[in-house]
Structure 1
Amino acid sequence: MNYSVIFDMDGTLFQTDTILELSLEETFDYLRGVNQWEGETPLQQYREIMGVPLPVVWNTLMPDHSDSIRREANAYLQEKLIANIRSGKGQLYPGVHELLTDLKRKGRSLYIASNGEVEYLQAIVEHYQLDTWVTRTFSIRHVETQSKTDLVAHILQAYDIRDAAVVGDRLSDIQAAKKNGLLSISCRFDFAQEEELREADYVVNDLLEVRDYIDEAASLDKRGAVR
């Protein structure tokens, strides 16, 4: 069976925390400098909503600002995130390379589906050479609805995938798996929330645990029998 695995990026493969605070501080320093923000940087608020599409992020963080200012803030943040990735300030989670190597060796097709911007994702893929293992990285920008569920459905259709698991850390990843009839594996990492994790088929504390669940699922003749 050619079993596929669709990974989330932030909080699943990439330790976004390693550059998030720095990049957010730089962005809100800029906003304070152009008189568009007062007070502290809303870092904790961002952490709580991590994993939602970027328009939702900025509507939440800056509800009283215009769309043009939100777009300006997002563009500045993306520049800083990419710069910090390329300068080596970011980091993958432990076990990423070992897991991807093991899955690829066993014939799994690997994809990334993320709510992140195209350029941001490409910076991570290039810096850590993830395309050594990953067939293609998809941004939420690839679907008009800005829905992770629809993005996963798009991947399934584009590559005629019938048997797969979604590995992520937030409710949007779990829902994307379940609504597409796939196995859901959630990572109890930095941005994960316990009430959301309860919705997943499996929860891991270490990425290398993922391979056991994938091996089990791939060994079955009929998708869904593991649930």
Structure 2
Amino acid sequence: MFAKPEAMIFDMDGTLFQTESLLIPAYHATFDEMHREGSYTDETPDENIIIGCLGMLLPEIWRRVLPDANEQVRQRADELFVRYELEYLEKGYGELYPGVAEILNRLKASGIRLFVASNGLEGYVRGVARMKGITPLFEELYSAGEHQTSSKVDLVRLLLERHNLRDAWMVGDRSSDVEAGLKNNLTVIGCDYAGFGDGSELDGSHVRIRSFAELPDLYA
């Protein structure tokens, strides 16, 4: 068994937010635009490639989605993708997983300090939290884009140091979350419901949950 934490640190995509509900329309809009302007002329890469890259930093994502393209093409894809994600977010695209807002409210009311640590861009992470009404529930939102960290391990370490946290749970769905938790001596709760990774994605987690709704019982 593991102790009750003073804080919980959540990944955003695939943990709190159903990323594909925003990502897929923004992804296709990106390549439609690139086809129109002539900056990319091949067929749109399979959307499952980018879905499989969730949790990575954006430069690595585009290297995998466009392995044969030059850096200029990748940068253009990145620029358009970020623009369309924010635009579609403002239009109401994207959903939290069932029960997320209610459960976060309950955890906060019980005295747990709540944080987000995401490899996404600052505007995206803060935009999702703002548009979905959960910003007030968190003490702070940390993103690789804002803090220019090279890994989630470093991002979580920064968060722990700044907020003087000694005992926390790292809650996430990707291997980067598991690594960030273990290397910072945290209890790792693996979220096994997004379906983005393979079966080994959450190896090393102290426990796996099949829905976000399991978290309060696990804490209790």
The question of 1:41 aligning with 2:45 is answered yes
Please tell me whether the aligned partners of residues 143 and 150 of structure 1 are also in contact (alpha carbons under 8 angstroms). no
Structure 1 residue matching 2:170: 3-state secondary structure: strand
Structure 2 Cα separation of the partners of residues 19 and 141 of structure 1: 19
Aligned to 2:181: 177
Q: CA deviation at 1:30?
A: 1.4
Structure 2 Cα separation of the partners of residues 119 and 141 of structure 1: 8
The Cα offsets for residues 153-199 of structure 1, whole Å up to 9 and x where unpaired, read as 01000100000001100100011000000010011122243212232
Aligned to 2:200: 195
Return 5+ residue gaps in structure 1 as ranges.
216-227
Aligned to 1:125: 129
Structure 2 Cα separation of the partners of residues 29 and 155 of structure 1: 38
Structure 1 Cα separation of the partners of residues 199 and 101 of structure 2: 26
The question of 1:166 aligning with 2:170 is answered yes
The RMSD of aligned alpha carbons is 1.6
In structure 2, relative to structure 1, the CA distance for the partners of 1:143 and 1:102 (3 Å cut) is same
Tell me the amino acid that sits aligned with residue 203 of structure 2.
Answer: R
Structure 2 Cα separation of the partners of residues 143 and 16 of structure 1: 22
Please tell me whether the aligned partners of residues 170 and 193 of structure 1 are also in contact (alpha carbons under 8 angstroms). no
Please tell me whether the aligned partners of residues 111 and 135 of structure 1 are also in contact (alpha carbons under 8 angstroms). yes
Decide which of 14, 24, 31 is 1:11's aligned counterpart: 14
Structure 1 Cα separation of the partners of residues 185 and 80 of structure 2: 37
Q: How high is the TM-score relative to the length of structure 1?
A: 0.89
Aligned to 2:219: 214
Structure 2 residue matching 1:12: 3-state secondary structure: coil
Number of residue pairs matched by the alignment: 215
Q: Percentage identity across aligned positions?
A: 32
Q: How high is the TM-score relative to the length of structure 2?
A: 0.92
- Range with greater deviation from structure 2 (59-68 or 73-82): 59-68
- Range with greater deviation from structure 2 (62-71 or 11-20): 62-71
1:24-173 equivalences under 5 Å are 24-35=27-38, 36-173=40-177
